[in-house]
């Protein structure tokens, strides 16, 4: 090997080492840029776990005292390392006002569940959803719901691996107490929900959210195949484990359309399979108990993922 070849090899090695170093530095600073709720709290000089609770405003649950006592420390710890978009945005520069109005879930025995709470939407969270799940307001076309009528919900749930995971929703203030109560009971019973993320993580694309089996609530959109606003547009409907509980419509010739299409296997409700919602399912029972209507009971269409409440 001549001297020129050796020099070229040395030069290539030095360039490769420089690239590896740059990638490592970038990765370090990227990790440093992820801010937890605890870090936000320290920046704001506040304790984000402080809850403003009024006895007659807190939804009532039915959890056992020992369950709530055992879980309270672990729940607080999980919220402390939250990286959920909504949680971070609601804990930002204007987060103090959100914390002052936070309603933390309290069960029937008076135990607090600090990871289950309801808050108004911060200005930062409103900006994040505007133009995605919430429409950008144009002249003379005001949406039928204002951000002040919406609420941010933080919950815990068991995922498909049986692990405790964080979840977040935006919903109408009228059903916020119902939802936090329902999700607490689902959590207490270790009911599995794959993921609960804001639909804005999917660009407001309902199909993409369903295909990823994401449980979601508010999304200012029309009913699929129509021009009518969905109850999701008013934050009054929620879809649970949608991939395993698809939306089914029928044409005049008797043809069936399944949404999402890739979930056609789960359109046959006579078959037993995991995560199926039917009238024996705990999720169904809890939502009906709270006055919700289930789309699986509709006649002209079947929306097995869908629960809504309008009064």
Residue 245, domain member (yes or no): no
Q: pTM of the prediction?
A: 0.74
Can you say how many angstroms the Cα of residue 89 is from the centroid of all Cα atoms in its chain?
14
Q: Is the pLDDT of residue 110 over 60?
A: yes
116-134 pLDDT, tens digit each: 999 999 999 999 999 999 9
Residue 24, domain member (yes or no): no
Residue 29, domain member (yes or no): no
Residue 17, domain member (yes or no): no
Structural domain including 159 reads 37-240
- What's the structural domain count of the chain? 1
231-283 pLDDT, tens digit each: 999 999 999 999 999 999 988 877 899 999 999 999 999 999 999 999 999 99
Read off the tokens for 175. 């059903």
Residue 189, domain member (yes or no): yes
Residue 265, domain member (yes or no): no
**pLDDT value of residue 95:** 65
**pLDDT value of residue 219:** 97
Residue 256, domain member (yes or no): no
Residue with token string 């939306």 = 247
Query: What is the percentage of the chain residues whose pLDDT exceeds 70?
Result: 72
**pLDDT value of residue 22:** 45
Q: Is the pLDDT of residue 214 over 90?
A: yes
**pLDDT value of residue 68:** 38
Please count the helices (runs of H) and the strands (runs of E) in the chain: 9, 12
**pLDDT value of residue 305:** 98
> 98: alpha, beta or left, given left = phi > 0 and alpha = psi -120 to 50?
alpha
């Amino acid at each position: 090997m001549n001297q020129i070849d050796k020099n070229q090899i040395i030069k290539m090695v030095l360039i490769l080492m420089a690239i590896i170093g740059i990638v490592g530095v970038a990765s370090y600073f990227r990790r440093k840029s992820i801010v937890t709720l605890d870090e936000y709290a320290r920046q704001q000089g506040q304790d984000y776990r402080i809850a403003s609770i009024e006895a007659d405003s807190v939804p009532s649950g039915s959890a056992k005292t020992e369950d709530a006592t055992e879980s309270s420390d672990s729940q607080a710890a999980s919220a402390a390392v939250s990286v959920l978009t909504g949680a971070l945005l609601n804990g930002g520069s204007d987060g103090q006002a959100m914390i002052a109005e936070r309603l933390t879930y309290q069960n029937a025995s008076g135990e607090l569940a600090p990871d289950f709470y309801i808050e108004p939407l911060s200005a930062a969270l409103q900006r994040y959803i505007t133009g995605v799940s919430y429409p950008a307001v144009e002249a003379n076309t005001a949406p039928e719901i204002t951000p002040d009528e919406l609420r941010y919900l933080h919950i815990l749930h068991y995922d498909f691996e049986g692990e405790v995971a964080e979840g977040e929703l935006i919903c109408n203030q009228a059903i916020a107490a119902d939802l936090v109560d329902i999700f607490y009971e689902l959590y207490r019973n270790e009911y599995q929900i794959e993921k609960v993320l804001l639909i804005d993580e999917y660009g407001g694309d309902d199909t993409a959210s369903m295909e990823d089996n994401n449980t979601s609530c508010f999304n200012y959109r029309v009913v699929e195949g129509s021009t009518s606003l969905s109850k999701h547009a008013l934050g009054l409907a929620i879809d649970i484990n949608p991939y395993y509980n698809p939306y089914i419509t029928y044409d005049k010739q008797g043809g069936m359309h399944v949404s999402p299409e890739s979930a056609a296997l789960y359109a046959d409700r006579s078959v037993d399979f995991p995560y199926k919602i039917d009238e024996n399912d705990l999720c169904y029972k809890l939502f009906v108990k709270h006055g919700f209507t289930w789309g699986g009971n509709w006649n002209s269409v079947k929306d097995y993922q869908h629960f809504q409440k309008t009064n």
